[in-house]
Structure 1
Amino acid sequence: MTGLVLAAHDRGITTLTLDAPGNRNALSAALVGDLTAALTRCGTDPATRAVVLTHTGTTFCAGADLRDPPPPEALVGLFRQIVALPRPVVARVTGHVRAGGLGLLGACDIAAASTEATFAFTEVRIGVAPAVISLPLLPRTDPRALARYCLTGERLDAAEAVRTGLLTAAGADVDTVLAPVLDGLRRAAPQALAETKRLLTAPVLEAFDRDAVELAALSARLFASPQAREGMTAFLERRDPAWVVG
């Protein structure tokens, strides 16, 4: 454990907070390891009725850490763990979400954000594809909208994220939005929650079982490509990559 995920408990709800604001909560190998361990504890804790996943700083998650990336298989494992966890997982977002961070949202059962949050599939702009994150997102989002935003890298606001299925709800105060959700989870029987979640997530887990190996291999191949090296270098140097037209 490296202390990148904080845990707190209140009346049946365990809150896990991504706490690497200096790195915009990017999915480094260390953060993925810490979050995986924290979720494992939540999944076996009888006092945890549900999990809230949130963040410090102005960014929920900036996607994969380009300086310390986890292997694609680790991201597959993390997203699948959230989907399969026998506790509902609720994303609470008050900042920006990019690339792999959208995989976290897609894996959660419920996702709410403040209206100041923004979202973008930035993979194509650095020369890769949203391969692994498509596993939880394809079964849960509008296909036409997903095609547009994955192919262009355009930014979405919270209202559009709700319309496309990236979010469940959004509002000026995300805690006000989530209050009835958490109250409902506290009133639900633990066995009923686990079995209901299992029914709802069955199609998502089918996608993982069918496609995860192929998509992890695709992700690894693209990240090792010359175009990805140019895209990531350009991103870190704050310039346009060589393929930008005009």
Structure 2
Amino acid sequence: MSELVHTADDRGVTTVTLDSPGNRNALSGALVGALTAALTRCGKDDDVRAVLLTHTGNTFCAGADLRDPPHPDALVGLLRQIVELRKPVVARVRGHVRAGGLGLLGACDIAAASAEATFAFTEVRIGVAPAVISLPLLPRTDPRALARYYLTGERFDAAEAVRTGLLTAAGDDVDAVLAPVLDGLRRASPQGLAETKLLLTASVRETFDRDAAELTALSARLFSSPQAREGMTAFLERRDPAWVV
């Protein structure tokens, strides 16, 4: 397994840990590949009842790695894999989440965070749109809240993330929040979990089938645009892009 992702098994729950603190667990091509491989292994292992997706450092995921972004097809494939995995995937967040990292949360079946976690859809601030990550997010979250946070790039807290449906729960101790969840998953039958997840993800899977190709093309077009080049350059240079007034 790549050093960017670690796995550990405990009583039927496999913890998959994003471990790329140098870029705040940003979604590089390498990290997406390593996470995809880890989830594939979990899917094939009959001893894995559920997957717990977590992270090292103070950031769950900072979004796309602007120096080594994954191909949109690879990101779509990862999000679809989480949704279609016949085992529940639970996100455990103890830090910040930005842009593409919110797509990971949206794809997970259950997501919990500590109270100090913060969230933001920052795509508009670098000249692109949250295209691919909308596949799991639009069917599962409050559309009025998404309109505000998609369009402004504002930061919001864990309580607001729960209200909007991005998170299942939040609390001062995220492990205490998740303890009854993991206990429940360990008590559930593998067949029961798989079939129940199929029921719960029906609308999300329909969205992938209908919109994935269009949104992948949109993402590729936007990331290659002049405004995106200016936005990404400004971000890396830690300055405002030219359009800020």
TM-score range, shorter chain: over 0.9
**CA distance in structure 2 between the partners assigned to 1:114 and 1:161 by the alignment:** 11
**CA distance in structure 1 between the partners assigned to 2:49 and 2:104 by the alignment:** 20
Q: Deviation per CA, 1:127-149, whole angstroms, max 9, x where unpaired?
A: 00000000000000000000000
**CA distance in structure 2 between the partners assigned to 1:10 and 1:2 by the alignment:** 20
**CA distance in structure 2 between the partners assigned to 1:98 and 1:8 by the alignment:** 25
Q: Which runs of 5+ in 2 are unaligned?
A: none
Residue 38 of structure 1 is matched in structure 2 by 38
Q: Which runs of 5+ in 1 are unaligned?
A: none
Residue 155 of structure 2 is matched in structure 1 by 155
Given the alignment of the two structures, is residue 7 of structure 1 paired with residue 10 of structure 2, yes or no?
no
**CA distance in structure 1 between the partners assigned to 2:117 and 2:155 by the alignment:** 10
Given the alignment of the two structures, is residue 233 of structure 1 paired with residue 233 of structure 2, yes or no?
yes
**CA distance in structure 1 between the partners assigned to 2:140 and 2:80 by the alignment:** 14
**CA distance in structure 2 between the partners assigned to 1:31 and 1:10 by the alignment:** 23
Shift of 1:114: 0.0
Shift of 1:235: 0.2
Residue 193 of structure 1 is matched in structure 2 by 193
CA RMSD between the two structures: 0.5
Query: Normalising by the residue count of structure 1, what TM-score does the alignment of the two structures yield?
Result: 0.99
Residue 134 of structure 1 is matched in structure 2 by 134
Residue 102 of structure 2 is matched in structure 1 by 102
Q: Secondary structure at the match of 1:70?
A: coil
Identity of aligned residues (%): 85
Q: Secondary structure at the match of 2:170?
A: strand
Regions of 4+ moved over 4 Å: none
Residue 50 of structure 2 is matched in structure 1 by 50
Shift of 1:100: 0.1
Shift of 1:177: 0.1
Count of aligned residue pairs for this structure pair? 245
Q: Deviation per CA, 1:143-174, whole angstroms, max 9, x where unpaired?
A: 00000000000001000000000100000000
Given the alignment of the two structures, is residue 59 of structure 1 paired with residue 59 of structure 2, yes or no?
yes
Q: Secondary structure at the match of 1:139?
A: coil
User: Amino acid of the residue matched to residue 144 of structure 1?
Assistant: R
**CA distance in structure 1 between the partners assigned to 2:7 and 2:77 by the alignment:** 20
Shift of 1:22: 1.0
**CA distance in structure 2 between the partners assigned to 1:196 and 1:156 by the alignment:** 31
Residue 77 of structure 2 is matched in structure 1 by 77
Residue 87 of structure 1 is matched in structure 2 by 87
**CA distance in structure 2 between the partners assigned to 1:41 and 1:206 by the alignment:** 25
Q: Secondary structure at the match of 2:201?
A: helix
User: Amino acid of the residue matched to residue 219 of structure 1?
Assistant: S
Given the alignment of the two structures, is residue 27 of structure 1 paired with residue 21 of structure 2, yes or no?
no
**CA distance in structure 1 between the partners assigned to 2:77 and 2:12 by the alignment:** 25
Shift of 1:2: 3.0
Query: Pairwise mapping of residues 173-212 of structure 1 onto structure 2 (< 5 A)?
Result: 173-212=173-212
Shift of 1:44: 1.1
Given the alignment of the two structures, is residue 242 of structure 1 paired with residue 233 of structure 2, yes or no?
no
**CA distance in structure 1 between the partners assigned to 2:154 and 2:166 by the alignment:** 14
Q: Secondary structure at the match of 2:116?
A: coil
Residue 125 of structure 1 is matched in structure 2 by 125
Q: Deviation per CA, 1:79-134, whole angstroms, max 9, x where unpaired?
A: 00000000000000000000000000000000000001000000000000000000
